[in-house]
Structures are given as structure tokens and as C-alpha cells.
């Protein structure tokens, strides 16, 4: 599927339901922008928690993996505790599934939700 197809699906309210498909689309988009996927780049991961102590527990685990974290308390716009984990990693077809699985596990063990990742276009 092309990026245009992905955008069309999003506009029609039918985003990809499979997280692996979203990952493949993001990687394809990076490649189309000329990104060298063999180089480390800044990446952000997003997790959400109903309870502050669960968010803090996730932060402790994530920081042990050498990510920098930020916790944001609930607000009118985002009514849950938000954890953003940032780091520099090689983001490619051989690494994305592992990152996703690890963050999903951390979120699940801490009673939260993993909402995906956002890479920088350039290293």
C-alpha cells in the first residue's frame, strides 16, 4: 500500500488495525524520504497509564534500557498519565518488531497501553 493509500484510509476512518502494518508503512515512508535505516536516529515511544504509580514503574523499567523518559500528568486533552520514552536507535525492519514487543510488554506489566513510536526523519 502506498503512503497515499494509507492517508486515504486514515481520512475515511479506517486506519490499519495491525500495528505491524503501521510499522511497515512508517519504514516505507522513511525510505521514500531517503532515510538511511542503518543509522541510529532519534525515536520516541508513547505509553499511557490510568495511575501515576504504574507510569512511574514503567519509567523505571524503560530507563534501565537506556531511554530518557518524560511523564506528563492527565490534562483536558489527554486524560491519562503519559510516558514518552526517547532514545537513539537503529530503526529498521529487523528492529521495530522487537522494540514494539518490548514496549507493549512493559506497558502491559504496568497496567498501561503502548501507543506506538515516532522516528526522526534524519539521524
**pLDDT single digits (tens) 97-108:** 999 999 999 999
Question: Cα(90)–Cα(3) distance, rounded to whole angstroms?
Answer: 22
Q: Does the structure show a pLDDT above 90 at 121?
A: no
Q: Does the structure show a pLDDT above 90 at 91?
A: yes
pLDDT band at 112 (very low <50, low <70, confident <90, very high): very high
% pLDDT > 90, the chain: 77
**29-48: average pLDDT:** 94
Q: What does pTM read for this prediction?
A: 0.85
Residue ranges of domains in the chain: 36-119
3.30.200.210, 3.40.50.10540, 3.30.70.970, 3.90.1150.10: CATH of 36-119 = 3.30.70.970
Closest CA to 100 of 39, 19, 30: 19
The answer for residues whose C-beta is within 8 angstroms of residue 22's C-beta and 6 or more apart is 15, 16, 116
Residue of higher predicted confidence among 87 and 25: 87
pLDDT number for residue 123: 80
Question: Cα(123)–Cα(42) distance, rounded to whole angstroms?
Answer: 6
Amino acid at each position: 500500500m502506498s503512503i497515499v493509500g494509507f492517508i486515504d484510509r486514515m481520512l475515511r476512518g479506517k486506519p490499519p488495525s495491525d500495528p505491524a502494518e503501521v510499522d511497515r508503512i512508517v519504514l516505507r515512508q522513511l525510505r521514500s524520504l531517503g532515510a538511511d535505516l542503518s543509522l541510529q536516529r532519534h525515536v520516541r515511544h508513547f505509553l499511557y497509564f490510568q495511575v501515576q504509580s504504574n507510569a512511574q514503574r514503567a519509567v523505571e523499567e524503560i530507563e534501565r534500557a537506556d531511554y530518557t523518559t518524560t511523564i506528563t500528568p492527565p490534562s483536558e486533552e489527554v486524560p491519562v498519565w503519559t510516558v514518552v520514552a526517547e532514545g537513539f536507535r537503529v530503526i529498521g525492519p529487523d528492529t521495530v518488531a522487537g522494540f514494539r514487543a518490548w514496549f507493549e510488554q512493559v506497558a502491559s506489566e504496568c497496567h498501561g497501553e503502548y501507543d506506538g513510536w515516532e522516528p526522526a526523519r534524519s539521524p
